[in-house]
Chains A and B, each alone.
Chain A
């Protein structure tokens, strides 16, 4: 592993300065590219420019904020020391480990990881190509129901990503991720054989080693997604551009920085998946016997050896504290000469990795930012939001800009007068941060930083459950359409009547109405159930966190219940039929009270 050598403090600072300098250049170039694209009225160029520009701006913004607020030259600001906790046995009694029998043998094979990545690699390349060459038209509700690219991404993959929280763990996606997979193959020069790593192998500056980029990146990517209605699922070529952007950016970053720096620090999904991994039933790679590691001097799990690489994620399996950063690459398992690595299954309620001694302020902040994103996704389905948003767009003149950013999309049936307005988007994003900030300021017994982090940690299950709930209508109301598209991925000529196709008919008979972007009524109780489960886990987490960190239980409970009930009520309102003919109709909310059998959960 190459290293940036710092001989004096100036060197250390110069590394940061150099990094910022190149980020500024990159930002300016991306900004110019976006501007020129706007002049050229090429929507694909504008979108990719916007994605790159916002990414660079996020990095620059976080760096500058850190430079202004943090005096030290390390990232010690992310570290929150919590009190001790005796670690009880936290593995499942029935199936303590994943690595038994055939699976254990499989993961010892060098090509195992390649084999796991390859199918999704193929699928996502098909998606990228089909998204660009396939049928682009949208139906009257503004969504695309015939193109494989957008449908598999947003009907199946995205909801499944959040369902993974309780099916396996969030990072199982990272295990199969084709983008990081191909970047790693390039970086290592071979899909599975050990060779010389190519690229500059720079270290991400220490002061800026945080996961905040990822959380803010997710928030901004969600904004772009909403703006172009990419995840609607909208115009398929826009989905392709997002995927190509992620793939290219990762290839670019892997040639500059060490191993999986992109995955760990920059990938927009890193922070959310790190959080969901903390509460999933399936654990991450972890050592069996800590004592063996204390005497181990070779540390092959981290450094690698002649045959195998070390952990590319910089997350040694040695401690619970690094569990959220384990990308399940299984390199440590192959490399360990003592066969001391295990992939454990957690014990219900699977909160063992959440309440650790070494908490992270930046992870806490990420929970709140991401919860803000989910809150936005809920609120935007309420009529009142649309009214405010439209007023703001006209008031601030954002409509004018939005027209400039979306040239040529109207021919596919896309229309947008500025939704979502950056002002209200930012405000809704910041609501959880503001609430938790206020509550932790009120805590007198515990230092602010610990109170803030601990309270945020109790909201991890709420985040995981609400984001899953919000994506359930798409999964249950539309995913079956993909079956149609397997034989005709480009979707040419099918859009005449989706309900006349076989799987469209099946969906319709189930009660789903994808043409109007609503799912079956029974998705509503399912969504509520998922949120109730999240609240339950949140309460369990609160109890543990309160015991270790010394905060009043009521502070946690009020947060968890407050957010939980808010989300449940919004879920109920946003699924309302919004019909003036039904009683309790309110133009701002829809039907305040209605029979759940008439519910129409929106995509």
Chain B
């Protein structure tokens, strides 16, 4: 049963006590114009009754008979709106690809919004290698997701469409961006409970579980060569020498004005070992803002990517 919240509009004076009490779910808010408490996000209400206890005039009644409060709280915390990044970087329609890649590089992000259109690193590179110069030539209508969807639903969309960024919609406007890295972050902030069958970042899980074999290129490969390999294999990064080159590095090259025949500069990232715990790797990835790390397993270099971790994890489903 959904919890029900009844608010006495005769007595409610908009004192903010319930809003303050609903710190976790943020489901109840004061409408400052009318000085009235409103249940603005009923789907987020966990039914905990904190607002009822906080109300000085007993204006609120929470009916939570048969509601599993802790489970609802987990769903609430795994909503896209809780884990998205609110910073939305936009670019003009007639900007060049180089300008776009510069912005991405500077902001450390992988996509830009142009109205309801989106341009990602992959689009920039596709454009670059097929000789296009303007953003409007490569940008696409964005696939969006609602803020109240769960991370699980967002990941399903991402995996189905093979994309890494979802603009988040609340009402009629775009309020943030949910990237695959945000999904990983959400995993690290959600407390994991055995009863909910969440497999992510359990202590015993090792880095090797999700590590993948990728083509090993030699040092001195050019941008063109690396990009061809990535495109052929349908992957976002590979190992060059003993460093990693991802589409982000190629985009950085675009931003710096490199040509397709210049040599790539692989990023040297700490090499993990196959028996390292997965949560340590995730922590490193979050901290250093990287999407791929090399993993040594039986003297072979494998690559561990965010997409692999997130897509193979069982997430909390909406109840």
Binding site for B on A (CB under 8 A): 1, 3, 6-9, 11-12, 73-76, 78-79, 81, 84, 203, 206, 209-211, 293-294, 297, 299, 302-303, 310, 314-316, 318-322, 357-358, 360
Contacts and interface: CB of A to CB of B under 8 A. Distances in A.
Interface residues of B, number: 25
Given A7-B65, A74-B8, A357-B33, A319 B20 contact: no
A262 to B, nearest CB: 15
A78 B63 contact: no
A203 B13 contact: no
A78 B6 contact: no
B10 interface: yes
Contacts of A81: 34
Given A12-B61, A206-B6, A294-B16, 5 more contacts: A1-B56, A12-B6, A78-B9, A315-B13, A322-B35
A84 B33 contact: yes
A299 B6 contact: no
A464 B85 CA distance: 56
Contacts of B57: 1, 302, 314, 316
Contacts of B15: 293, 299, 302, 316, 318
A321 B13 contact: yes
Interface of B: 4, 6-11, 13-17, 20, 33-36, 56-59, 61, 63, 65-66
Given A78-B9, A297-B20, A9 B65 contact: yes
Most buried by A among B6, B7, B14, B66: B6
A449 to B, nearest CB: 13
A89 B159 CA distance: 57
B34 A357 contact: yes
A322 B61 contact: no
A6 B61 contact: yes
B56 A79 contact: no
A8 B34 contact: no
A153 to B, nearest CB: 31
Contacts of A303: 56
B58 A299 contact: no
Contacts of A206: 6, 8, 59, 61
A222 to B, nearest CB: 24
A210 to B, nearest CB: 6
Contacts of B35: 318-322, 357-358
Contacts of B8: 74-75, 206, 209
A319 B33 CA distance: 10
Contacts, number: 88
15 contacts: A6-B61, A74-B7, A74-B9, A78-B9, A78-B10, A79-B9, A209-B8, A299-B56, A314-B11, A318-B13, A318-B14, A321-B13, A321-B36, A357-B35, A360-B10
A378 B63 CA distance: 49
Contacts of A320: 35
A210 B11 CA distance: 9
A358 B11 CA distance: 12
B6 A74 contact: yes
A78 B17 CA distance: 23
Contacts of A8: 63, 65-66
Contact of A75 (B10, B36, B63): B10
Contact of B63 (A12, A294, A302): A12
A315 B13 CA distance: 7
Most buried by B among A11, A320, A322, A360: A322
A360 B8 CA distance: 13
Contacts of A302: 13, 15, 56-57
Contacts of A6: 61, 63
Contacts of B65: 7-9
B34 A9 contact: no
A542 B34 CA distance: 20
Given A6-B63, A321-B35, A299 B17 contact: yes
A84 B35 CA distance: 12
Contacts of B10: 75, 78, 209-211, 360
Nearest to A265: B10
Nearest to A318: B13
A210 B6 CA distance: 15
A15 to B, nearest CB: 9
Nearest to A77: B9
A210 B8 CA distance: 10
B33 A9 contact: no
A392 B209 CA distance: 94
B61 A79 contact: no
A319 B9 contact: no
B39 to A, nearest CB: 11
B34 A358 contact: yes
Nearest to A85: B33
Contacts of B59: 206
Contacts of B11: 209, 314
A316 B13 contact: yes
Contacts of A357: 33-35
A315 B35 CA distance: 12
A289 to B, nearest CB: 14
Contacts of B33: 84, 357
B58 A3 contact: yes
Contacts of B13: 302, 315-316, 318-319, 321-322
A246 to B, nearest CB: 22
Contacts of B58: 1, 3, 203
Given A75-B9, A314-B11, A9 B4 contact: yes
A75 B7 CA distance: 8
A322 B9 CA distance: 11
Contacts of B9: 74-76, 78-79, 358
A483 to B, nearest CB: 43
A214 to B, nearest CB: 12
Contacts of A11: 63
A123 B4 CA distance: 50
B275 to A, nearest CB: 49
A121 to B, nearest CB: 28
Contacts of A360: 10
B273 to A, nearest CB: 50
A1 B65 CA distance: 23
